[in-house]
Amino acid sequence: MPDLPQHRPVLAGTAHNVTGPGIRLEALPEGHLLHVLGGTEPAALAAELTKAGFAESSIRQAGFRQWFVAGDAPLSSAGLETLTAALAGKAFVMDQSHGRVRIGISGRSARLLLSKGTAVDLDPAVFQENSSAMTMIGHISVQIARTGDDSFELTVLRSFAESLWDELKDMAAGAEG
């Protein structure tokens, strides 16, 4: 019997957490990531997410009338079907769970670390909690979301996750402060 492909988290070969004075890098669970495109508003999307079993997911703007729905729980096909049916005619839902990876960055030096790689103004007065932006860190396209006072989440294409992880580790070596 031929071997079947096995899911392996992309950052499984690396240390899941890198901590140092003022910095914590964390490979987040490869739960679910949905890309929603269309004429629905975040409040209406949140209501439909709750009905479909995604109440713990976060909604992040990814462009004009585009959102990423991210969460730690594995994607259920029933939940995806429920959400897709509820948004039919208003928005399209695309599963990106196997194509993107999330990395958490937290600590008092998190903004300093990220400022080394992106031009996004991460000052809390400008880039508030629950804000998100598509940007580049070095040559890698990422979505950056502020998840707390000193915490951020980066969403990156799966094929670039290891490169981004290595780049973040290198930047973290000089970010403590």
Q: What single-letter amino acid sits at 24?
A: R
**Nearest CA among 5, 7, 39, 11 for reference residue 26:** 11
pLDDT band with cut points at 50, 70 and 90 for residue 20: confident
| Full-model pTM | 0.87
The residue count of the chain comes to 177
Predicted confidence at residue 11, as pLDDT, reads 77
Predicted confidence at residue 21, as pLDDT, reads 79
Class of domain 17-29+99-173: alpha beta
- Residue 16 predicted with pLDDT over 90: no
Predicted confidence at residue 17, as pLDDT, reads 67
Query: CB–CB of 164/149 below 8 Å?
Result: no
Write out the two tokens for 126. Answer: 């400008």
Predicted confidence at residue 113, as pLDDT, reads 92
Query: CB–CB of 160/154 below 8 Å?
Result: no
Q: Using one digit for the tens of pLDDT, what is the confidence trace for 104-127?
A: 999 999 999 999 999 999 999 999
**Nearest CA among 57, 33, 62, 24 for reference residue 142:** 62
Query: CB–CB of 104/25 below 8 Å?
Result: yes
How many other C-beta atoms can be found within 10 angstroms of the C-beta atom of residue 22? 17
CA 168 to chain CA mean position, Å: 15
Predicted confidence at residue 30, as pLDDT, reads 87
Spatial separation of the C-alpha atoms in residues 137 and 99, rounded to whole Å: 18
- Residue 160 predicted with pLDDT over 60: yes
Query: CB–CB of 34/92 below 8 Å?
Result: no
Predicted confidence at residue 108, as pLDDT, reads 93
Per-residue pLDDT, averaged over 50-63, amounts to 92
To the nearest 10°, report the CA torsion of 118, 110, 64, 34: 120
Give domain limits for the chain.
17-29+99-173, 32-95
Can you name the CATH fold of 32-95?
Alpha-Beta Plaits (3.30.70)
Residues contacting residue 43 through CB under 8 Å, at least 6 positions apart: none
pLDDT band with cut points at 50, 70 and 90 for residue 7: low
Average pLDDT, the chain: 89
